[in-house]
Structure 1
Amino acid sequence: MNITVHRPGELTAADRLAWTALQSKAHLNGSPELANPFLSPEFALAMGQARRGVHIAVVREDGEPVAFFPFQRTITGVGRAIGLGLSDCQGLVHRPGFTWDARELLRACGLAVWEFDHLTSGQEPFGAGASGTFPSPVIDLDQGYEAYLAQLHENHAKFIRRTLTKQRRLVRDHGTVRYVHDERDPEVLTTLMRWKSAQYRRTGRSDRFAHPWITQLVRRLFHTRSDSFAGILSVLYAADVPVAAHFGLRTERIIVNWFPAYDPSYAKYSPGLGLHLRMAEAAAADGIAHLDLGRGQKAYKDSLKTRELAVSEGWVALRHPVAFGHRARRAPLRALRNTVVSRPELFAPADKLLKRMGKIRSLGRE
């Protein structure tokens, strides 16, 4: 096994095609999760333009590439999953039956430790270092939208009736409602990011779009398009005014739910839920197998999901002072966060406090 490490722009066209081919055939080889857009060469290339320290390890056998491992590395050898904190799927893309030694891979990559928070399934050499596993809901669409809608009626009848009623009320109150699955107007993307920033502040969360590199990354991915990958902006309009939008990424079979938001002045119509139903309908018609809603406890995800995937967080580490130091700093924070999120009696007051602080912060901006 030969391992070479490259910056994203150094990958040859042949290597990129091989990587894409592994993803395109992943569902046929029993590893559909490897087709996730966050594991695509396009996402790695965009991250390489947005952030320093992005590298890709290429594993070859008999001269042929059999695995690709994107990661970020500091000068001290601390490694992180590419896009840690932003990406909802992480791991090594590989051919069927390929096995690897995680620590051998770390040494070849110049890493003392590699941290992940959304490790996908089928990554057993890395999974041994997992400190926790969490549900990541998805919407299955491979049987078509009508089958999905029938399942919603069966499992969440009250929810789907209420949502569809609100959509009819939106039409009655505001006239024509239309949905654009793949909107190409960059001004609408700007509107979405403005809504999302306001939502982060309103709920007391850290505003991701306050970081210029994230805004630049999203814009770059919006303009990235190929047969196997695209940034996709989906928009719900009422009387030609955008009321809800979502920007995510897609491969041939998967769309990832990344940045959904809506205009709060239309909140009584639940435009975000209406948007997700339109997205599911259009995605099914486009041959998408599932829409990945991403890890995180949200009521709308529980109502829309058909099942859950499992993603893990943790570290793979060598016996190295840098690895010990990194884990000593990060482990207590992760443990505290997961304890709060997993226990309703702790999460409810913490969430209420964050929203109160967000309201104060928003008032201070006015």
Structure 2
Amino acid sequence: MDISVYRPGELTAADRAAWSAMQSQACAFGSPQLASPFLSPEFALAVGHCRRGVRIAVIREEGAPAAFFAYQRSALGVGRAIGLGVSDAQGLVHRPGFQWEARELLQACGLAVWEFDHLVEGQKPFETGPVGTYASPVIDVEQGFEAYLGRLRKQSPKFTRTTLAKERKLGRDVGEVRYVHDERDPAVLATLMGWKSAQYRRTGRTDRFSRPWISHLVQQLFHTRTPTFSGLLSVLYAGERPIAAHFGLRSDRVIGCWFPAYDTDYAKFSPGLVLHLRMAEAAAAEGMAHLDLGRGEKEYKDSLKTRELLVSEGWVTRRHPIALGHRAHRAPVRALRNAVLSKPELFQPADRFLKRIGHFREGG
């Protein structure tokens, strides 16, 4: 393989265009998982502005780009998926039929190990050491919103009926319901981030927005707009007041759902669910293929989904002492966390404990 490694700012406009073209053609060539906005050059470049060690490997065949591999590298050669911890799709973006050898790629990138937690399907060379495979629920809208809604009524009739009724009640009790699919007001983004931070605290989770690089990344992506990519802030208003919002990323054919939250004063109206239905309707009208709700078991995802993608967690290594040490350190932590998340008898007590911590944080 002819592999060149670049810092984000060194990537040429021609290479970026080739990368975007591969993503735009991914659905047509039977690899829709590669169309995720989290696999886009724009996402990689944005992370590069917020994190050190971001590199992009370009693999060429006969002088033309055949694949792109974005990653983060430590000084010791420990590699991580680009934006690990906030990225919902990871892997190598490539032309149809492209084959690669993982260890050869790692060596060219100066990596002893590459760790991932949302490796998309079809990345067999990286699947030598995954520690688990998990569902990432999807809302299909390629056949139109009415087709999706009809399917939703069949699989979850009570949920669909109740959610639509709550939307009507919201309009009667609070004010006219209005949905903005692509809100450009940064003040509303700040409102959403405030709601989300409060949710993290309330549920005992770590506030992601307390990490400056994540806040900077979101704000940068909010202002990023290209013909094939943009940050997408979608907002549900009632009586001109924002009551639910979501910030995610949009590629040509896929919306990557990311940070949803709502004003808890209006929780009885289920504004988050109403928002997701409106997002699906708008995505269908724009000709999108699907909305990826992201890995993780949540009741609202089970209610809204039409199917599931699969993502893997693990690492791929070369024969190297650094790789052995990294795996020995990380494996027990990941195994414990995944055991808790996958077993209700463990997850539910842990979840209740975290919520009690959140209650104390809030002064309850």
TM-score range, shorter chain: over 0.9
1:180 aligns with 2:180: yes
Counterpart in the other structure of 1:50: 50
Counterpart in the other structure of 2:251: 251
Amino acid at match of 1:172: R
Shift of 1:360: 0.6
| Structural mapping, 1:1-366, within 5 Å | 1-363=1-363
Secondary structure, aligned partner of 2:170:
helix
Name the stretch that deviates more: 265-274 or 319-328: 319-328
Measured against aligned partners, the alpha-carbon deviations of 1:201-254 in whole angstroms (never above 9, x if no partner) come to 000001000011111110100000011000000000010000000000001100
Measured against aligned partners, the alpha-carbon deviations of 1:65-121 in whole angstroms (never above 9, x if no partner) come to 100000000000000000111000000000011000000000000000000000000
Whole-angstrom distance in 2 between the partners of 1:290 and 1:205: 28
Measured against aligned partners, the alpha-carbon deviations of 1:184-204 in whole angstroms (never above 9, x if no partner) come to 000000000000000000000
Secondary structure, aligned partner of 1:184:
coil
Gaps of 5+ in 2: none
Shift of 1:45: 0.5
Amino acid at match of 2:304: L
Whole-angstrom distance in 1 between the partners of 2:172 and 2:324: 61
Secondary structure, aligned partner of 2:26:
coil
Whole-angstrom distance in 2 between the partners of 1:283 and 1:267: 24
Amino acid at match of 1:139: I
Whole-angstrom distance in 2 between the partners of 1:216 and 1:255: 21
Shift of 1:303: 0.1
Whole-angstrom distance in 1 between the partners of 2:282 and 2:55: 35
Shift of 1:271: 0.2
Shift of 1:32: 1.0
> Scaled by the length of structure 1, what TM-score is found?
0.99
Amino acid at match of 2:335: A
Whole-angstrom distance in 2 between the partners of 1:213 and 1:88: 17
Percent of aligned pairs with the same amino acid: 71
> Scaled by the length of structure 2, what TM-score is found?
0.99
Secondary structure, aligned partner of 1:132:
strand
Whole-angstrom distance in 1 between the partners of 2:33 and 2:339: 27
Amino acid at match of 1:187: A
Give the number of equivalent residue pairs: 364
Gaps of 5+ in 1: none
Whole-angstrom distance in 1 between the partners of 2:169 and 2:199: 24
Whole-angstrom distance in 2 between the partners of 1:14 and 1:327: 37
Shift of 1:130: 1.1
